[in-house]
Structure 1
């Protein structure tokens, strides 16, 4: 059962259960009566608040009420079991990975993203051609139709940057190696870098390039990460805690502890200070795009 540890699994589980209840048109009172709970207990569970331990039996019963498919129910049970004091980790072969894309869920409700990529252009900024070139290698056994669907879903995610109402704010630093590493073809790279330059002109997007000559701003190599912030609620109180997302080949790590988020914010500050400013970065992006086009 969930009781203590990382808040992220509780928050995500609560969100899925709330969405399930709303989809069935049931009220807190109605579900509370079915579960022999108070309205306040169910509300706390849906908010991911501590103090409301949830047994696997309870989870399965809620999933039955909400008519979740077997796969979704298994994902909810697995999600409930993910709790650790230091971080939350789920592997690529975990049932959660198969059923839900947890990072995309978090990204969709974030108000701001702080991104560092020393290796490639992140999905939110990839062109269809760049994304397809990567996926064709990583998902080598999939059909062209499945690959096209993956690319379409990735491009659809980018609407959160372009929407008129409250677009997500993005502060991103890319290492210069991202600009020089060939993905797909020279034509694909040229289009990708032009797209980055064009997107960086948006008011809610800042793109900086960390040049080779900057070395290691914090004295050691730093892998890719995203800091997700979720803004404030209607009462101007901080909403969900900040999450640092770290992607790896064998699994994804989610850090929530204050000491962890402070480390990554400090790293972000040092990296930004060492990077080119936004204007100089845009010039470098366009110049490199022209080099690939030759």
Structure 2
């Protein structure tokens, strides 16, 4: 049995279990009956309010709902994370390498606020994403690379859907416009895509120019602040989370003071970044350079 507090891993377990049940077409009561547990227990697992999580329950739910081994092992790994407000997800630790924790977290967000040194995953065109994915996973078959790229591309539906599209506020370091990912053709298409999609009212893309120097006096590295809505109307409010991607693992911060520090960092970077309009102009100018 894993004893975990009100942390991100527990909420993530609940989010995935809820999606598994809904995908299997089961009600909470039906699932509870099949795993021989009370409906209240299943509901608490799904809302992330269970004080204790039995790994047997996760295994049973995954089995009944037809989850694959990767998902089942990942959810059990999440359940075994410690009670800490700064959660370190090291690649290849308890959670399988090919399970994307962040993507599941992103799916539940109502707003993204980010600073990036590569194009944000939600804004990448397939060729840009494919190039990076192949570099990270050099031994994977083409079919697996294609699957990963397709999943990333589908995420953009959250930005472009007609009703209630996801707001995203992204600051791109100017190095993003110069660092060639793939080839010049890919870069031209990617930068044009950023300029075009940045005209949508829910998408704010700004470039932090080299001329701004180091506005914070130090380098933060890329980060994304995720804000959420309640998983259910009567459920607890999900606190915001800062996601900081690293080479050998990811950090997730929930402490209010730390989250506020990142908000202030983003606000300070935004003050010296180009306006959205000037950023689009620079993106198009650089795209034309790559087209030559």
Question: What is the TM-score normalised by the length of structure 2?
Answer: 0.89
Unaligned ranges ≥5, structure 2: none
Q: Counterparts of 2:164 and 2:70 in 1: how far apart (Å)?
A: 33
| Cα 1:162/1:78, change in 2 over 3 Å | same
Q: State the aligned residue count.
A: 292
SS at match of 1:253: strand
1:202 CA drift (Å): 0.5
Per-residue CA deviation, residues 40-70 of structure 1 (Å, 9 max, x unaligned), is 33322221015x3123334334444445444
Aligned to 1:10: 10
Q: Secondary structure at the match of 1:111?
A: strand
What SS is found at the alignment partner of 1:263? helix
For residues 99 and 47 of structure 1, do their structure 2 counterparts lie closer, same or farther at Cα, with a shift above 3 Å needed? farther
Q: Is the 8 A contact 2:7 2:85 kept in 1?
A: no
RMSD (Å), alpha carbons: 2.5
1:136/1:101 CA distance change after superposition, 3 Å = closer
Tell me, yes or no, if the aligned pair for 2:170 and 2:204 is still in contact at 8 Å: yes
Distance of aligned partners of 1:56 and 1:132 in 2 relative to their CA distance in 1, 3 Å threshold: closer
Question: Superposed, which structure 2 residues align to 1:166-205 within 5 Å?
Answer: 166-205=164-203
Counterpart residue number, 2:110: 111
Q: Give a deviation string over 1:142-163, Cα, whole Å, max 9, x none.
A: 3444433332332222111111
User: Under a length normalisation based on structure 1, what TM-score does the superposition of the two structures give?
Assistant: 0.88
User: Which residue pairs with 2:215 in the alignment?
Assistant: 217
When structure 1 is superposed on structure 2, of 32-41 and 165-174 the one drifting more is: 32-41
Q: Distance in 2 between matches of 1:2 and 1:11?
A: 14
Once the two structures are TM-superposed, the CA of residue 171 in structure 1 deviates from its matched residue by 0.3
Q: Which moved more, 1:152-161 or 1:207-216?
A: 152-161
Distance, in Å, in 1 between the alignment partners of 2:3 and 2:233 is: 27
| Matched-pair contact (CA < 8 Å) for 1:211–1:275 | yes
Residue aligned with 2:226, SS: strand
